[in-house]
Structure 1
Amino acid sequence: MSETRTPVRPTERGAARQTVTISFAGFNRAWAAWIGDRLERRGVRVVYIRWDSPAEESLVDLLRGLSLAEGRILMLVSERYFQLGPRTFDEWNAALREVVAPDPTRFAAVSVTNSPVPAAVAVLAPVDLTNMGADEAERRLLDRLDLPDDGRQTAENARGPRFPAAMPEVWGGVPRRNTRFTGREPLLNSAYHLLQNSEPGAGVLTLHGMPGVGKTQLAAEYVYRFGSEYDVVWWVNAESRVTYRRLLAELSTKLGLATGDEYGERLRAVRDSLRRGTPFSRWLLILDGADEPDQIWDLVPTGPGHVIITSRNPEWGEHNSKLLEVAVYDRDESVAFIRRRAPRLSDADADQLAQVLEDLPLLLDQTAGWLNDSDLSVEEYIELLEDGVDPDVVKVSADFPVAFQTAWAILLNKLRETVPESVDLLRLCTFFAPGFIPVRMLREMSHDDLPEQLTRLLDDPLLWNKAINQLRTYSVVRLESHEVGVEETPSPGESLYLHRMVHQIVGKDMPEEDRRDFIDVVRRALAEADPGRPTDTRNWEAYAELVPHLKYADVLNSTDRKVQLLVLNCLRYMWWAGEYTSGWKLGRRAVTAWRGLLGESHPRVWEATHHYANLLRSAGRFAETEELGRGAMEHLRRERGERDLDYLRAANGLGADLWSLAKYDEALTLYQWLYPAYRELLGEQDSRTLSALNNLGFVHRLRGQYEEARRIDQETLETRRLVLTGRHLFTLFSEVSYSVDLRLLGRYAEAESIQARNVREYRNVGGKGNPDALRAEHNLALCQLRTGDRASAGTLLTQVLEGYERRLGDTHFGTLAAAVSHSCFNREHGDIDLARETSESVLARYEQLLPDGHPFILGARANQALILRNVGEREHAHVLIEQALADMAEAVGEEHPYTLGCAVNASGLRNLIGETESAAELSRLTIARATDTLGRTHPLTLSARVAYAADLRGLRSRQQAEKVEQEALSDLEATLGKQHVHTVSARSRNRPYWDFEPQAS
C-alpha cells in the first residue's frame, strides 16, 4: 500500500515562501539547527519551537497548541522529546491518536534516535536520519517534506551548522554527555545568545555559582547542543595554572602548529593561532573549574572564537568576561530530574525530596541514585536529615547548604555498610587535588609496608573495581579520561573525577589515624611517580600532572627524603618550563616549611632557597630576590664562612639581581671577588668558576666597558672550548657573548662571521627555538643590520621576537630586548606605526618590571623620542630626549655609552628645533667623552663627529665643518670601509642617530 504525502504548503497568511515549523527537544537542538539550515538554503522559511511539556498541562492541549504553528510541523522524534514532563508512553499514544492521526498532513517527522518511542509515533511516518552521512540524511529529509533536491545548497558558500553526527574537526577533553541532563533551557539559550552577540575578541562567558549547582554539566551540555557550529571544541581543566597551560598547549598538535616540544612554546603558539583565527576561526574553549581568575586570566585566548569558563568566582567579570549565574534547579526541573534518576518515586515524593535538598543538582543526583536502590521511603530519609547524623560534618564550608552536608553523612554511612573499601578509596582521593584524580599512581606504586586495609584494596583488581563502581553508582565520582583527545572508554580506575564539594566533605570526615596513614600513601605514590631529570622536556607532562597534587598531599611537611626531592624537582621543572609565579609561591612555602622541619642550615633548605630565588628573579621580582640573596649570604657567612659553596652560589645569584636592578658598580665588586674565590676553591676549569667569569664579563659590558668585556669573554670562550669542546652549549653561549662585544666595539664584519657560524651550530645542537639559540639569532640580526643586510636582519628580527614571545612570554628580558630591536628596525626601515606601538608596549612593560630611573626605562624613552621625531612630533620628542639624557647621566654617568648615545640624539633634536648653538656644544662635549671612553674611531664617537659637522654647518662655520666632516669620513672609511652603510650615509650628510640596545644576559 503506497502512502500519499502532501508537499510543504505556504502559510495561511499568504507568505511568499513555504514555511516549516520545527518542533524539537532542547537536547536535540543541534539536529534542529542543521535541518533548519538545510531547508533555508532551499528558500524555505523555518520557525523553531522548542518543545516543552509542563506537567500541569495535558498532552492533548499541548499538541493542539503546536498544530496552530505556521506551515507544516516537522517533529524531531527522540526519546528526550517524549520524556519531558515526564510522560508515560500511554499518555503519548492517546494524545497522538487524538490530535495527529485525524490530520496527518499537518505533521511530518524525522527520527534522530534508536531508543524506544511511543507506538503511535507511527502516525507521523518518521524517516530515520541516524547511522548515515549528511548527504543521505539530507536526501531523506527533503523526500519526507516533498521538497526537490535542486542543488540550491551549493549556491551559498556560508558555513552552516555541522551535521550533528559528525564531530568538529578538532575535539578534545570534553566529558561524556550526561544523558540525565535536565532543564536549564533558559540558561543554555542565554549563554548561546551572549556568545553569539559578542564583539569579536570579546566572546568570553563565565558560568558562575555555588558548588554543586551543575556548572560543569551545563557547559558540557552547551558543547553537545551547539558544538556543531564550531570547528574546534577544546575542554581544559583550569583549576590550576600549571594544568591549564599544559592542557591548552596540547591543542597545538591538533591545530597543526609547527612548534618545539616545550609546552610553554606550544601554549603561546596556540594562543596566537586562536587570536588570528587560523587555521580555524570557529573555536570554542571551555575552562572548567577556574576558581582563581588571578592565576590564569592573562592566558585566556582572545580572537574570533568563544570561551566558556566555569567558576565559583564572579570576579571574572573584572577580566572582560560576561557573567551568567547558575543557580539551583527550579522545582519543576528538580522533580523531572529526580523522576528520571529514581523512577520508583512519585511526583509528590520528588517534590518533597527536592524541597528538603534545596534543589541542589549534585545532591539530588547522589541522593536519588541510592534512594532508587533503597527500601527507604522519602519520608524516612527526610527524618534522617532532620535528626542529623554527624554534627562535625556540618561545619565544612559556608558554601555548602546544611542539607548537603547532612545528606552526605547518610550517603557515607551507606557506602560503609555496602562496600567499605569504597570509603577508603574515596579518602585516598582527597589527598590528591580535586577534579581528575590519577589513581593509577596508587596502583603503580610499591605496595610494601602499606596499611593492611589499603594493601587489600590496591592488590585485588576485583575489589578495586567494586569500590569504584560503588562510588560511580551514587555519583560520588565520575570515571573519565583526563587525557586530551582520548575518546575511547578509559580503563577502570585509571582516572576518577571527584567534585570539589565532595572532596572537602570527605576530607573533613576522616579519623585522624586514617588521615596519617592515607596521606603518607599518597605522598609515596607521588614521589614514586617522579620521573627525575626535570630539565628534560619529555618529562614535563608528568611534572605538570604532579604539581597540582603537592598542596593536597601536604608534601612540604613530609620528612621523607624522596618526597622532598620530588618538591625540588618540581621547582626546577617550573623554572625551566616558565611557571615562574606558581613556582616562586611553592618555593617560598617550601623554604618556610623546611626551615621549621629541618633547621635553618639543612642542605635541602638552601637547595630550595636557590630554586625559589631563581623563580622569583625570572618573574621579574628583583627587589625581593635581592633581599632574599643578601639574607642567604649573611646567614651562610655566619654559619659556614665565605669559602662555602652554598654561600658562593647565593652570591652568584645576588649578582644577577644587582645587575637587573642596574646596581652595576656593586655587581662588579661582587664578581671581582667571586671569580677568584671560585678559582681558588675549584680551579680555573670548573663550570662554576667559568660561570662567575662569564658574569664578570657581562657586568663590564653593562658598565659600557666593552673592551674589558671582550677580553674576559674571549678568555671564558677559549677555556670552555678547551674543557667542554666547541659545540657544548656553554661554549656556544660564550661565543655569542664574544660576538656581542665585537659588535659593540664596531668590529661588525668579524662579529657577523663568528655569529653566523655560531647560529648554525646552535640550530644543530639545541634546536631553533632554544632560548640561547634565540639570543644568538638576535645578535646575528643586529650584526646583519650593522653590515647593511637590512632584508635579512628584518626577517630574522621578526622571527626572533615571535620565538621569544612563544617561549618565554612578554615580560622576559630576552623578549623585551628583541622587541626593542624590532621597533628600532621598523622605525627606520619598516612600519612606523608598528614601531610606535611596540615601543610604547616595551616602555610600559619596563616601567612595570623595573624601578624608576633604571637605564632600560630611560633607553626605551630615548628610542621613543626618535619615533616621535620621525612622525613630526618634534617638541614632544625634544622634551623626552632631554629628560632621558639627564636621567641617564645620573643613572650610569656622563661617559657611559648609553649617555653618549642619548647625547647624539639630543643634539640632533636641538638642531632640528633651531637650538643650533646648544646642539653644537653638546656634540663637542660628546666627542670628547666618547673619545676618552671608546676611542676616536669607535662608531659612536664617529657618529658624534659627523653630527658635530652638521651643527657647525648650521652655525655657518663652513670651513671648520668641512674639516671635521672630512676627518670623520676618513676615519669611517678606514674603520668600516668606503661602502659601509654608515660611511655612505655620512657622505650623504644624513644626520646619525643612536639606538638604545638593552643587554640581556
Structure 2
Amino acid sequence: MEILATIGLVGNIIQFVDFSAKLISKSAQLYQSSKGALEENIDIETATNRLILLNNKIKDSATTAGDQSLESLCKSCSTVTIELLAALDKVKVRGKQQKRESISKALQTIYGKEKINKLERQLAEFRQELNLHLTVDLRVQVRRLMQERSDVPDLDSTTKEIIHAIAKQEEIFRTTHDRQIISMEAIQDELVNFRHEIIREIERHKRDIYIGKQEREVFSLGNVDFSIPPQLEFSRNTNFVGRDEILQRIHESIMSQRRQASDPIKLSIIGMGGIGKTQIIQEYAYKHQREFSSVFWVKANSYDSAVNSYFTIAQALVNHAGPSVQKTGLVGILDKTNLDYLSEAFARRVVQAVKYWLTLEGNNKWLLLFDNWDNLQDERMESLIPNGGSGVVLITSRRQDWARNGCSLEIAEMEEAASLKLLSRNSLSKYGESNQDDHNAAKEVVQALGYLPLAVDQAGAYIHKLKISVRTYLCRLNKNAKVLSQKPPAQMWPYHETVLSTWEISLKEIEGENAEALEILQICAFLTGEDMNEQLLRYGFEFARMDSLALALEDAMGTLFAFSLAKRQGADDGFSTHTMIQTCVRERLGQSDKQKFAEKAVLVVAGAISKIALDSRSNWITSRQLLSHVASCEKYLKSPLQNNEAFYSTRALFILGQFCSRFSQHDRAIAWFKKDLDGVQHLSLLASLEDRFGIATAMLFKGQLYEALAQFECLYAEASKNIGVKRALTCNIANSLGLACKKLGRYEKALGWYQVSLAEVVGIFGEADQRTLATLNNIGVLQKELKKYPDACKTLESVLRQKEAVLGEEDPSTLETVMNVGVVYGHSQRYDEALCFLQRALSGKEKYWGKDSPNTIDVKGNIANVYLKQGRLEKAIELYKATLDGHKKAYSHSMHQSIFITTSCLGDAYYRQGCYKESLKWYYEALSGREQILGKGSVQALETICSIANVFLKQGRFWEAIHWYKRALDGFRNACGTEDFRVRSVEKEVRALLLHLYGLSS
C-alpha cells in the first residue's frame, strides 16, 4: 500500500490511543468528585465528538490502507470506541444530586472498574501492536520504498524527515508506552485508595445513624419520643469558673435519689442573693443535658412569672414533643387570638397540661429548674410541682426554709482563687503574681466583695467598661466605706452591704455618664424584673410624654448592659434586671422619689397597654407579661398622687383597671378604678361615671349580681340626668342593666333594658354598627329565654345576615350568633337545622379558639341539648359528660357557672331516662354550685330546686315534692314578683299536687 496512506492510518491510530488514554485518566476525577460525576459536561461532549471523529478517520484510512494487521487493529479501535462512548454517557452530570445518591453512583462506578481495567489492557495492546507493526512491517516498507524508488534521494527535506521519524518510531513508542503504563498504574492506585476512603466514609455514617438511633431509643417508650431541645433561659456562661465541688455534689445527690425513688427527685439549692445559684444550676444543666430527655427553665420569683414559664414550656411541647403531647390537650389551646385565656383558670389549665406530660409513662428523664423561688407565702407555687413522674426538680432560693423540706444543698461564697479568676475573666485583665501590686489589689477587691459571684462579676464589668486598674477600682470602693459599714439586718441578707456597695459605685458612675440610663433603671425598679422590653418602655415614654427618655433609650440600655445592671433576655429587645438591683435602686431613693418613680412606672405600663393591647389577639403572652407589671405597680403606688396632672390627662389608672377587668382580674380592676376615682383630683363627671361603671361591671362578673344591679341603676339615673341618654356610656350602662337582670332571671326587665339600649345605640351609631348588632343579639338570646321562639329566630337570623355581610362567616362574633340561631332552632323543634348550625359553629370555633376552649365546649353542650330534645338520651348523656370534663379541665375544677349548667343538664337527661337516683345526684351538685356562685335566691338555683321537686313527684314522694316546690315558689316570688311566669307555673304544680293528695276535684 502507499506509504503516505499507512502513515495517515498510523497517525490516526496513535491519536486514538492517546486520546483514549486521556479519557481513562479522567476517570480519576470521577472518584475525586463529591458529586459522583465529572463536572465539565462540555469537555465530555467535546470528547465524545472527538472520539467519534477519530474512529471515523481510522475507518476511512483503513479502507485505503489495505494492510491486514492495521485493519484488525482498526476493528479493535471501533470496539473500544463503543465502550468508551457508553462510559462517557454514564458519567455525564444530569443535575444536582444528593450526597447519598452521589456516593451510591461513585460506588457503582468503582464496582465497574473491571471495565476500566479492560480498556486499559486494550489500549496497552494497541500500543504494543503499533510498536510491533511500526518496528517491523512499516520499517521494511520504508526500506523497500527507499530501494525501489531512485528518486528518494531527491525527496524534499520535509518528506525525508517524516521517513526518518517513522524509522525511529520503535524508540519513540517504547518511551510513550512506558510512560502511559506508569500513569495508568498511578491512576489505579488512586482509584483503590479513594474507594477505601468512600467505604470508610459510608461506615462512619452508618455508625452515626446507629448511635443516633440508640440515643433516641434511650429516651423513648415504644413509638413515643420524649426528647425536647433544652429550654434554658440563657446561653452557657463562658466565664463560669470554679464550683466543681458543688456541681459534683448536686449530681451525686440526684443519682443517689434516682436509685431509691420513683417520684420526682427534688433538690433545693439554697444561698443568699448573688451567691451564684442560678449560674450553678444553669452550668449543671448544660454539663449534663445529654443525660436528660428534656430540660425546662421556670422563673419562680413569682407565681405569674412561673406560669409564664409554663406557657413557654407548653409551646415547646407543642413544637417539639410530637405524639407524646397529644394526650395533654395542649395542641390547639395555645391560640394567640383568645382573650379569655389570659385568665387564672386558663393559666391553671396550661400548668395542669404540662404537669400531665411530665408524668406520662416512660417520660422519666426530664429536668425542671425552678429559679429564685423565694416567695413561700404564695401557696399556688406548690401546685406547679408535678405530683408524679420520675424526673428531677432543681430549686434555687434564698430562703433557709427549704432546708426543712427535703434534700437541699447550701451554697457558700466562692473561694478566693475562683473569685480572682472570675474577676480576671470579666475585666479582661490578668492579676497573676507576676504583678504583685495588681494581684494584691485584686485579692482585696474580691475579699471586700465577700467573694460573691454577682458582685465580682459586676466589679469586673465596671473595670472593663471604664478601662481602669483594679487598684483604682479598689480606691473607689474604699471611698464608700460608710455605705459598706451600714450592714442591713442579718436575716435579710448577711452580705447585703457588699452587693449594694458594688452597685452603688456603678449607679454613681452612670449618673455622671448617662443620667437618662439611671432614670430608666429607677423606673424599671418598680416593674417586674423579668419580661421587660425596650418597646414597652418606648410606648410608655411616648404616652407619658417623657420625650428625653424615649430619645435616649437605645444608648441608655447600652450603658445598663455594659455595667451588668441589665441583661438581654429572650429574643428581640427583651431584657431583665436582677431583683436585688431593683432593691438597691429603690432603697437609695427617699420616700418622695420612690412615689415619683412608682407613678412614672404606672404611666409607662398604661402607655404600653394602650398601644400593645389594641392588638392583644396576637400578643396574648405579652398581655400576661403586662399583667405582672400592673401587679408590681399596684404594690408600690401610694396615695396621694404627686403628678396629678399626668394621671388626670392620660387616665392611666382607668386604663389599668379596664385592662385587668378585660382579663378577669376583677379584684385588681376594682382597686385601680377606686385609685382613679379617689386619688385623681378634679376628675370630670364623665371620668367619675366611667370608674364607677368599671367597678360595677367587675362586681357583676364576680357574681355580686344584686350589688352590681343596684350600682347600674344609680349610674343610669345619674348618666341620663347629667350627660344624657344619647351617650355611649349611658348605652353601655343600659345594656349592662339588661345583662344583670338576665343573670338574675328577670327576663322581662332585661328585655326592657336591652330595648332601651338598642334605641339609644341606633340613634348614636346607626343600625349597621357592631354595637347595635351586639344589642340585637342579646335581645334574641333573651327572647329565647322567654320562650318567644319565633321572635328569637327572626331577630337572630337578621343579626346573622348582617354580621356575615360585614364581618365574614368565620368571625368569632358571627360564630356566636350562628350558635345562638342553632339553639333557638332546637327549642323550636327544628332539630336538623339546629344540628346543622351548631356543627357549623363547632367547626368554626374549633378552628378559631381550639378544641379545648370554653367557647368551643359550650357548643358541644348545646348539641347535647338538641339530642336530649330528640330523645337520643344515651348520646346526650355521653356528650354532656364530655362537656363537663372539658369545662372542669378548662377551669381547673374551680367553681364556674358553666360546670353547673352542665350538671343540671345531666340531671335532666337521667330524669328523662327514669334514672331518678342518678338524676337527683346531678341536681344536688348543680344546686350546691349555683347557690355558692350566684346565691340561694338566684333564679338558676331556684330552677334547680324545681327540678328536684319534679323528681320527687315522679317517685311518688309527694310531701317531699311539696316541700321543694314551696321553697322554689317563695324564692321566685321574692326574686321575680308574684306575676312572673315561673311563679304561676310552680303554683299550678303545687295546686294540682294538693288536689291529688286530698282527693279534691278543684
Instruction: Give the TM-score taking structure 2 as reference length.
Output: 0.57
Aligned equivalent of 1:387? 482
Aligned equivalent of 1:234? 296
Instruction: State the secondary structure of the residue aligned to 1:580.
Output: coil
Measure, in 2, the Cα distance between the counterparts of 1:504 and 1:400.
12
Do 2:298 and 2:370's aligned partners in 1 also have CA atoms closer than 8 Å?
yes
Query: Would you say how many aligned residue pairs link Structure 1 and Structure 2?
Result: 734
Aligned equivalent of 1:713? 792
Residues 1:180 and 2:259 aligned together: no
Aligned equivalent of 1:341? 422
Aligned equivalent of 1:169? 228
Q: Tell me the alpha carbon deviations over residues 807-841 of structure 1, each in whole angstroms, 9 at most, x when there is no partner.
A: 66654433543455468769999999999998887
Aligned equivalent of 1:783? 866
Structure whose residues are more often helix by fraction? 2
Q: Tell me the alpha carbon deviations over residues 554-613 of structure 1, each in whole angstroms, 9 at most, x when there is no partner.
A: 89967558994777666666555xx323x6404531442255326454545544554555
Measure, in 2, the Cα distance between the counterparts of 1:622 and 1:817.
18
Do 2:536 and 2:608's aligned partners in 1 also have CA atoms closer than 8 Å?
no
Do 1:173 and 1:235's aligned partners in 2 also have CA atoms closer than 8 Å?
yes
Aligned equivalent of 2:313? 251
Shift of 1:647: 3.4
Measure, in 2, the Cα distance between the counterparts of 1:223 and 1:832.
58
Shift of 1:782: 1.6
Aligned equivalent of 1:481? 569
Residues 1:538 and 2:618 aligned together: yes
Do 1:219 and 1:308's aligned partners in 2 also have CA atoms closer than 8 Å?
yes
Match of 1:470 among 542, 553, 562: 562
Do 2:657 and 2:668's aligned partners in 1 also have CA atoms closer than 8 Å?
no
Measure, in 2, the Cα distance between the counterparts of 1:177 and 1:834.
59
Max Rg structure: 2
Aligned equivalent of 1:129? none
Measure, in 1, the Cα distance between the counterparts of 2:737 and 2:884.
28
Q: Tell me the alpha carbon deviations over residues 42-85 of structure 1, each in whole angstroms, 9 at most, x when there is no partner.
A: xxxxxxxxxxxxxxxxxxxxxxxxxxxxxxxxxxxxxxxxxxxx
Measure, in 2, the Cα distance between the counterparts of 1:867 and 1:335.
80
Identical pairs, percent: 18
Residues 1:597 and 2:597 aligned together: no
Amino acid in the other structure paired with 2:534: R
Match of 2:378 among 286, 290, 293: 293
Amino acid in the other structure paired with 2:233: V
Shift of 1:428: 1.1
Residues 1:890 and 2:970 aligned together: yes
**Closer, same or farther: CA 446–590 of 1 in aligned 2, 3 Å:** closer
Residues 1:636 and 2:724 aligned together: no
Measure, in 2, the Cα distance between the counterparts of 1:651 and 1:741.
25
Do 1:354 and 1:364's aligned partners in 2 also have CA atoms closer than 8 Å?
yes
Measure, in 2, the Cα distance between the counterparts of 1:637 and 1:852.
33
Residues 1:425 and 2:487 aligned together: no
Match of 1:740 among 823, 831, 837: 823
Measure, in 1, the Cα distance between the counterparts of 2:217 and 2:242.
35
Do 2:310 and 2:354's aligned partners in 1 also have CA atoms closer than 8 Å?
no
**Closer, same or farther: CA 371–786 of 1 in aligned 2, 3 Å:** same
Match of 1:549 among 624, 629, 646: 629
Instruction: State the secondary structure of the residue aligned to 1:588.
Output: helix
Aligned equivalent of 2:504? 412
Amino acid in the other structure paired with 2:623: Y
Aligned equivalent of 1:649? 732
Instruction: State the secondary structure of the residue aligned to 2:230.
Output: strand
Measure, in 2, the Cα distance between the counterparts of 1:156 and 1:718.
56
Aligned equivalent of 1:274? 355
Shift of 1:301: 5.9
Shift of 1:258: 2.4
Instruction: State the secondary structure of the residue aligned to 1:852.
Output: coil
**Closer, same or farther: CA 805–641 of 1 in aligned 2, 3 Å:** same
Measure, in 2, the Cα distance between the counterparts of 1:644 and 1:797.
43
Shift of 1:783: 0.5
**Closer, same or farther: CA 757–184 of 1 in aligned 2, 3 Å:** closer
Shift of 1:402: 7.3
Do 1:587 and 1:609's aligned partners in 2 also have CA atoms closer than 8 Å?
no
Measure, in 2, the Cα distance between the counterparts of 1:662 and 1:541.
37
**Closer, same or farther: CA 563–682 of 1 in aligned 2, 3 Å:** closer
Do 2:355 and 2:386's aligned partners in 1 also have CA atoms closer than 8 Å?
yes
Measure, in 2, the Cα distance between the counterparts of 1:503 and 1:571.
25
Q: Which has the higher contact order (CA 8 A, sep 6+)?
A: 2
Q: Tell me the alpha carbon deviations over residues 961-982 of structure 1, each in whole angstroms, 9 at most, x when there is no partner.
A: xxxxxxxxxxxxxxxxxxxxxx
Instruction: State the secondary structure of the residue aligned to 1:496.
Output: strand
Instruction: State the secondary structure of the residue aligned to 1:234.
Output: strand
Aligned equivalent of 1:850? 934
Q: Tell me the alpha carbon deviations over residues 651-673 of structure 1, each in whole angstroms, 9 at most, x when there is no partner.
A: 43244345445566865675576
* Matches for 1:579-598 after TM superposition, within 5 Å: 579-581=663-665, 584-593=667-676, 595-597=678-680
Structure 1: unaligned runs, 5 residues or longer? 1-131, 140-150, 484-489, 904-920, 929-947, 961-1001
Q: Tell me the alpha carbon deviations over residues 298-354 of structure 1, each in whole angstroms, 9 at most, x when there is no partner.
A: 66665535655656679999xxx9567776x446x5546534434759999999988
Measure, in 2, the Cα distance between the counterparts of 1:890 and 1:194.
67
Instruction: Give the TM-score taking structure 1 as reference length.
Output: 0.57
Instruction: State the secondary structure of the residue aligned to 2:241.
Output: coil
Measure, in 1, the Cα distance between the counterparts of 2:851 and 2:220.
41
Match of 1:506 among 585, 596, 599: 585
**Closer, same or farther: CA 185–900 of 1 in aligned 2, 3 Å:** farther
Measure, in 1, the Cα distance between the counterparts of 2:917 and 2:444.
67
Measure, in 2, the Cα distance between the counterparts of 1:439 and 1:310.
25
**Closer, same or farther: CA 361–655 of 1 in aligned 2, 3 Å:** farther
Structure 2: unaligned runs, 5 residues or longer? 1-203, 319-329, 425-430, 434-438
**Closer, same or farther: CA 434–351 of 1 in aligned 2, 3 Å:** farther
Do 2:857 and 2:886's aligned partners in 1 also have CA atoms closer than 8 Å?
yes
Instruction: State the secondary structure of the residue aligned to 2:298.
Output: strand
Measure, in 2, the Cα distance between the counterparts of 1:244 and 1:175.
16
Measure, in 1, the Cα distance between the counterparts of 2:354 and 2:948.
30
**Closer, same or farther: CA 683–313 of 1 in aligned 2, 3 Å:** farther
Amino acid in the other structure paired with 2:378: P
**Closer, same or farther: CA 464–378 of 1 in aligned 2, 3 Å:** closer
**Closer, same or farther: CA 755–585 of 1 in aligned 2, 3 Å:** same
Amino acid in the other structure paired with 1:814: S
Measure, in 1, the Cα distance between the counterparts of 2:883 and 2:578.
44
Shift of 1:730: 5.1
Measure, in 2, the Cα distance between the counterparts of 1:313 and 1:637.
57
Amino acid in the other structure paired with 1:293: D
Instruction: State the secondary structure of the residue aligned to 1:436.
Output: coil
Measure, in 2, the Cα distance between the counterparts of 1:313 and 1:842.
43
Measure, in 2, the Cα distance between the counterparts of 1:896 and 1:447.
56
Measure, in 1, the Cα distance between the counterparts of 2:758 and 2:619.
34
Do 2:946 and 2:964's aligned partners in 1 also have CA atoms closer than 8 Å?
yes
Do 2:747 and 2:782's aligned partners in 1 also have CA atoms closer than 8 Å?
yes
Do 2:541 and 2:547's aligned partners in 1 also have CA atoms closer than 8 Å?
no
Aligned equivalent of 1:982? none
Shift of 1:764: 7.7
**C-alpha RMSD of matched pairs (Å):** 6.2
